[in-house]
Structure 1
Amino acid sequence: MTRLLIRDATLADLPAIIALGEDDPVAVARDPVAVPVSEHEAAFALIEADPGERLLVAEIAGTVIGSFQLSFIPGIARRGTWRGMIESVRVTPTMQGRGIGRLMMLWAIDACRAKGCHTVQLTSATNRPDAHRFYERLGFHPTHRGYKLKL
């Protein structure tokens, strides 16, 4: 495989990141209404301005093939240690099954370790059994039950 580069996203990457979400049937079913690009741009600006947030892309030969968001969360629990939160992990369908998601996750875990995080966590929709097996192979354990309230 040509060298995989993981880097912070730029505004120019936003169309590719949006397209990755549109290629995800679970995400589309959850959020079936497309929003204007201006709303994505506003969210991108907030993420970019927050020192605890990183929106990252994985690219090969200049083409974005994956993305994820990494949040660093300070807390009182666990004796005041940091937590890393990985969200919206996506790899373009034509590149899935080639180890790219694994490399992205290992990169994220290393970034959390470098930040001094005590824990790395993520959530995954209950209807993603393949993703659950993937995360468990990386050493993640389903330790909590998550709840959401849509507003």
Structure 2
Amino acid sequence: MSTASARGTGPAPPHRDLVLRHATAEDVPDIVAMLADDALGAQRETPGELAPYEHAFARIDGDPNQHLMIAEHAADTPGGPPRPVGTLHLTIIPGLSRRGATRSLIEAVRVHTDARGTGLGTQLIEWAIAESRRQGCALVQLTSDATRVDAHRFYERLGFEASHLGFKMTL
């Protein structure tokens, strides 16, 4: 997987026909479709109403600590456009705890249905870890919905530990 980015992010793990790049406004419909493409996402995402996502994208895109990434697969037909097959959102968070450590937060990791089981999810997470190191982070964290048991096993295989109990409040 090669990396193309205006923000100069670090190298991505090698993968023959994938490119990892910062998302653009044109990618928002594809990202939202991937977010909505499972039972949990289908309950909370509205791919037919893109305005709130477009507003959120503008805020994300304007913040240098936000890295909304998209993985593209080579075109299915010669000369055709590349096809989005994965996404993740990496946030760099400066902090005072842990002796002033910077941490990163990985969220919204999704792999298109057709690309699941190909190792792309692993490569996305490995990129996020490498980029976190490049940014000087001392800790990488992520959350996963309690119902996503397969995702929990996936993250544990990659070296993450279930170390905290998380809480959320809908506002």
TM-score normalised over the length of structure 1: 0.94
- The one of 49, 54, 63 aligned to 2:62: 49
Q: What is the CA distance between 1:26 and its match in structure 2?
A: 1.3
CA distances 1:68-120 after superposition (whole Å, capped 9, x unpaired): 10000010101111101000000011110110000000001000000000000
The code of the aligned residue for 1:7 comes to: R
After superposition, residues 25-40 of structure 1 pair within 5 angstroms as 25-29=39-43, 31=44, 36-40=49-53
Question: Which position in structure 2 is the counterpart of 1:14?
Answer: 28
Higher relative contact order (CA 8 A, sep 6+): 1
Question: Which position in structure 2 is the counterpart of 1:113?
Answer: 133
The number of residue pairs the alignment matches comes to 150
SS in 1 for 2:70: strand
> CA–CA distance in 2 between the matches of 1:23 and 1:34?
10
Question: Which position in structure 2 is the counterpart of 1:126?
Answer: 146
Identity %: 43
The structure that is helix-richer by fraction is: 1
Question: Which position in structure 2 is the counterpart of 1:92?
Answer: 112
The code of the aligned residue for 1:145 comes to: L
> CA–CA distance in 2 between the matches of 1:150 and 1:25?
19
- Decide whether the 8 Å contact of 1:2 with 1:60 is kept in 2: no
> CA–CA distance in 1 between the matches of 2:20 and 2:61?
16
- Decide whether the 8 Å contact of 1:8 with 1:54 is kept in 2: yes
> CA–CA distance in 2 between the matches of 1:33 and 1:42?
14
* Structure 1: stretches of 5+ with no match in the other structure: none
> CA–CA distance in 2 between the matches of 1:56 and 1:32?
19
Task: Kindly report the root-mean-square deviation, in angstroms, between the aligned alpha carbons of the 2 structures.
Answer: 1.3
Question: Which position in structure 1 is the counterpart of 2:10?
Answer: none
> CA–CA distance in 2 between the matches of 1:101 and 1:22?
17
> CA–CA distance in 1 between the matches of 2:88 and 2:23?
10
> CA–CA distance in 1 between the matches of 2:126 and 2:89?
14
Matched, 1:59 2:72: yes
SS in 2 for 1:57: strand
Q: What is the CA distance between 1:2 and its match in structure 2?
A: 4.0
SS in 2 for 1:118: strand
> CA–CA distance in 2 between the matches of 1:58 and 1:32?
20
TM-score normalised over the length of structure 2: 0.84
Question: Which position in structure 2 is the counterpart of 1:150?
Answer: 170
* Structure 2: stretches of 5+ with no match in the other structure: 1-14, 75-81
